[in-house]
């Protein structure tokens, strides 16, 4: 380990923490994001630094727009979002490429190869080519910090937005970063007066036409710059194989192709054509290892070079050591077989490398699908929607779990805010089923507002259920316009959803308590009985992870009364377990409740047809 001076120390940071640190070191004054896995942790980390205004924006486009304003005003600015969030922001992004920046502006796109927590696994490097701006791809946390600083420099040197592309594996991995302790606190005063440049910042058609040639010239200049850019590096080794790679893919390649030559691209767009040609000329076989699309590969092939690429490495899903190794072996490249690796390791431990038929020995291992938490306010909603056999247009949030057993009560889900529009369109087109859109509070403010306005304006008839659980739950509980607290911890105006919906002119509005199972059912029944105008149901109930959530006395099953009908299992609560006792008549296991998991929400108590479940005491648990 390298020794470090007293002013700096190696610390384990996640990619997201490192990006935040880099942004702070680069002197960012304004930053905004909408929470989205795997990008979420960047903004809270940045909010801790003095001299930075960090905010949760209502959606990704707003986050980018605010960063654009800050940049035009002369402050370095950063916007962070997940890959699909860039789609939301892309309207501004494509024209931001034309205007260029004032002070440096960096857009962090955190992609999700493998779709661990996303609705797709799109490859956002294409945005860089589409929008004609540079894309930097760090490969570990140290680079995440360093490249963030570098991105601001490139942004200002070339008057361009810069995309810093992370992936789940970078954002959520921790590795060592040289951290210099801040020496002085930063207290930014006011910026200098705004410098008016309407031909640059006001994109009316006449100005846009003038900007376009400048953007083409900028891209050419960037491509030339890339040839000597220090973030693109050649590491010579055995020249039988030369690997071009970048981002986390480089780390897998580095292990699998140990000892061979590498061209590591820190900037994956625009590419250094000369550097690639020179590298290719020196090696026998040119290999490209990249996650998802053949983004580098297609450009390298366009240079007339033959490569080993996506014909051997997977186009879909996250890469791994095994998948890169498998591709290399299929391509006939001289890399070590994994079984040899494992074998040599066990031999070094003095054991025989035997192969085992584990699959035959393995008992069948039940899957562990995600479930709504005990006490989750969404439970009564999906229980009742299923009971009433509704067609459900879902949205992005924890409530997507409504599609899984035991509810299996979601029929469409595509993107943030889309539930309301999909429900509307299906109804307008003549779908005979009763359709309900379900959308969370944060998602409603993200993009549900225009969708609901559209339903009302177009005389739609769908029922919209707004599930207000007081937080942005799925990403870990971030504040939003309905919670009354900012990312900096200030108290702020609570935007009351009921008032908003009423102000839009919805008169058929129900406000119900999520833990009142009958109340939720009545609201659904009454709202969906109305067939000639839009209706809205607001379901209030706190997420169990919010600070305001209060546990109530736990409930328990009376085994004398329970007959094993299994009805309570249909609420899908992880706290309700199958007991060893079997119901005499039903021949099925009775229910029992894990008191450690139960929050006392009483949803199971309310649905039990035999009143076999009761609360343990009236006192606070």
Binding region for other proteins (CB under 8 A): 1, 10, 12, 37-38, 116-117, 140, 168-169, 172-176, 248, 251-252, 254-255, 320-322, 325, 338-339, 341-342, 345-346, 349, 351, 353-354, 356, 358, 361-373, 398, 400-401, 405-406, 474-475, 569-570, 572, 574, 576-578, 596
* Cβ at position 610, least distance to other proteins in Å: 19
Type and span of the H or E element at 579: strand 576-582
Nearer to other proteins among residue 247 and residue 417 (C-beta): 247
Nearer to other proteins among residue 157 and residue 339 (C-beta): 339
* Cβ at position 465, least distance to other proteins in Å: 20
* Cβ at position 172, least distance to other proteins in Å: 6
Nearer to other proteins among residue 352 and residue 389 (C-beta): 352
Handedness of CA 443, 445, 446, 449 (dihedral sign): positive
Nearer to other proteins among residue 181 and residue 358 (C-beta): 358
Instruction: List, in order, residues 6 or more apart from 249 with CB less than 8 Å away.
Output: 289, 290, 291, 319, 324
Q: Which of 213, 221, 214 is nearest to 272 (CA)?
A: 221
Nearer to other proteins among residue 350 and residue 432 (C-beta): 350
Q: Which long-range contacts (CB under 8 A, 24 or more apart) does 565-571 make?
A: 565/609, 565/610, 566/591, 567/607, 567/608, 567/609, 568/604, 568/607, 568/608, 568/613, 569/406, 570/383, 570/386, 570/406, 570/607, 571/379, 571/380, 571/383, 571/406, 571/603, 571/604, 571/607
CA-to-CA distance for 174 and 12, rounded, in angstroms? 6
Nearer to other proteins among residue 61 and residue 172 (C-beta): 172
Nearer to other proteins among residue 124 and residue 528 (C-beta): 124
Nearer to other proteins among residue 322 and residue 582 (C-beta): 322
* Cβ at position 158, least distance to other proteins in Å: 31
* Cβ at position 401, least distance to other proteins in Å: 7
What is the residue whose two structure tokens read 């889900």? Answer: 413
Nearer to other proteins among residue 363 and residue 430 (C-beta): 363
Nearer to other proteins among residue 317 and residue 574 (C-beta): 574
* Cβ at position 244, least distance to other proteins in Å: 16
Backbone angles phi, psi at 399, to 5 degrees: -65, -10
Q: In what order do the strands lie in the sheet with 30-33?
A: 53-56, 30-33, 77-82, 105-111, 162-167, 135-136, 267-269
Nearer to other proteins among residue 180 and residue 214 (C-beta): 180
CB 64 within 8 Å of CB 92: yes
Q: What is the DSSP letter of 206?
A: H
CA quadruple 263, 321, 287, 149: dihedral, nearest 10: -30
CB 163 within 8 Å of CB 135: yes
* Cβ at position 212, least distance to other proteins in Å: 39
* Cβ at position 490, least distance to other proteins in Å: 25
Enter the tokens of residue 585: 């008549």
Calculate the alpha carbon distances from 489 to 186, 469, 475, 578 in Å: 19, 19, 18, 43
Nearer to other proteins among residue 351 and residue 611 (C-beta): 351
* Cβ at position 581, least distance to other proteins in Å: 15
Nearer to other proteins among residue 280 and residue 571 (C-beta): 571
What DSSP string describes 467-495? EE-SSBTTTT-B--TTTSB-TTS-B----
* Cβ at position 217, least distance to other proteins in Å: 38
Q: Which of 81, 159, 172 is nearest to 127 (CA)?
A: 81
Phi/psi-derived region of residue 410, left when phi > 0, alpha when psi is between -120 and 50, beta in every other case: beta
* Cβ at position 202, least distance to other proteins in Å: 40
* Cβ at position 391, least distance to other proteins in Å: 23
* Cβ at position 302, least distance to other proteins in Å: 30
CA-to-CA distance for 578 and 518, rounded, in angstroms? 25
Calculate the alpha carbon distances from 583 to 412, 556, 559 in Å: 38, 17, 9
CB 402 within 8 Å of CB 410: yes
Backbone angles phi, psi at 44, to 5 degrees: -60, -35
């Amino acid at each position: 380990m390298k020794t470090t001076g007293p002013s700096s120390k190696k610390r384990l940071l996640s990619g997201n923490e490192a990006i935040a640190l880099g942004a702070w070191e680069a002197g960012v004054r304004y930053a905004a994001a909408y929470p989205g896995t795997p990008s979420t942790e960047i903004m809270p980390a940045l909010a801790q630094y003095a001299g930075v205004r960090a905010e949760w924006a209502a959606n990704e486009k707003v986050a980018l727009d605010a960063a654009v304003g800050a940049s035009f005003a002369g402050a370095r600015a950063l916007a962070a979002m997940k890959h699909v969030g860039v789609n939301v922001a892309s309207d501004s992004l494509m024209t931001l490429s034309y205007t260029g920046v004032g002070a440096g502006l960096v857009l962090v796109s955190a992609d999700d190869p493998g779709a661990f927590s996303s609705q797709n696994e799109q490859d956002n490097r294409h945005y860089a080519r589409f929008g004609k701006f540079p894309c930097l791809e760090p490969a570990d946390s140290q680079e995440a910090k360093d490249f963030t600083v570098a991105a601001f420099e490139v942004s200002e040197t070339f008057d361009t937005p810069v995309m810093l592309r992370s992936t789940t594996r970078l954002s959520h991995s921790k590795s060592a970063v040289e951290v210099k302790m801040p020496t002085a606190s930063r207290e930014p005063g006011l910026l200098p007066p705004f410098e008016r440049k309407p031909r640059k910042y006001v994109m009316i058609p006449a100005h846009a036409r003038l900007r376009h040639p400048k953007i083409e010239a900028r891209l050419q200049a960037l491509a030339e710059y890339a040839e000597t850019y220090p973030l693109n590096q050649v590491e010579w080794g055995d020249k039988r194989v030369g690997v071009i790679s970048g981002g986390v893919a480089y780390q897998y390649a580095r292990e699998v192709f140990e000892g061979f030559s590498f061209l590591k691209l820190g900037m994956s767009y625009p590419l250094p054509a000369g550097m690639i040609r020179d590298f290719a000329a020196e090696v026998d076989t040119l290999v490209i290892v990249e996650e998802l699309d053949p983004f580098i590969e297609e450009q390298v092939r366009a240079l007339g070079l033959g490569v080993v690429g996506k014909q051997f490495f997977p186009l879909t899903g996250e890469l791994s050591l095994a998948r890169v190794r498998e591709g290399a072996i299929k391509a006939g490249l001289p890399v070590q077989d994994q079984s040899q690796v494992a074998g040599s390791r066990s031999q070094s431990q003095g054991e025989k490398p035997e192969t085992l038929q584990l699959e035959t020995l393995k008992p069948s291992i039940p899957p562990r699908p995600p479930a709504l938490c005990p006490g989750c306010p969404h439970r009564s909603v999906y229980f009742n929607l299923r009971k009433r056999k509704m067609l459900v247009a879902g949205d992005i949030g924890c409530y997507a779990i409504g599609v899984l057993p035991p509810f299996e009560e979601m029929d469409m889900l595509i993107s943030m805010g889309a539930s309301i529009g999909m429900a509307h369109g299906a109804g307008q087109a003549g779908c005979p089923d009763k359709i309900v859109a379900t959308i969370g509070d944060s998602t409603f403010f993200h993009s549900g507002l225009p969708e609901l306005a559209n339903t009302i304006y177009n005389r739609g008839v769908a029922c919209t259920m707004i599930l207000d659980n007081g937080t942005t739950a799925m990403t870990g509980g971030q504040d939003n316009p309905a919670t009354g607290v900012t990312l900096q911890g200030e108290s702020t105006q609570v935007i009351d959803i009921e008032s908003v919906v009423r102000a839009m002119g919805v008169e058929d509005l129900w406000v119900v308590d999520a833990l009142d199972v009958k109340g939720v059912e009545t609201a659904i029944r009454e709202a969906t009985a109305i067939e000639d105008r839009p209706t809205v149901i607001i379901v209030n109930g706190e997420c169990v992870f919010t600070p305001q959530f209060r546990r109530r006395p736990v409930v328990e099953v009376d085994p004398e009364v329970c007959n094993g009908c299994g009805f309570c299992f249909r609420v899908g609560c992880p706290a309700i377990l199958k007991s060893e006792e079997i119901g005499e008549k039903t021949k099925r296991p009775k229910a029992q409740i894990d008191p450690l998991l139960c929050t006392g929400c009483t949803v199971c108590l309310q649905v039990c047809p035999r009143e076999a479940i009761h609360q343990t005491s009236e006192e606070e648990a």
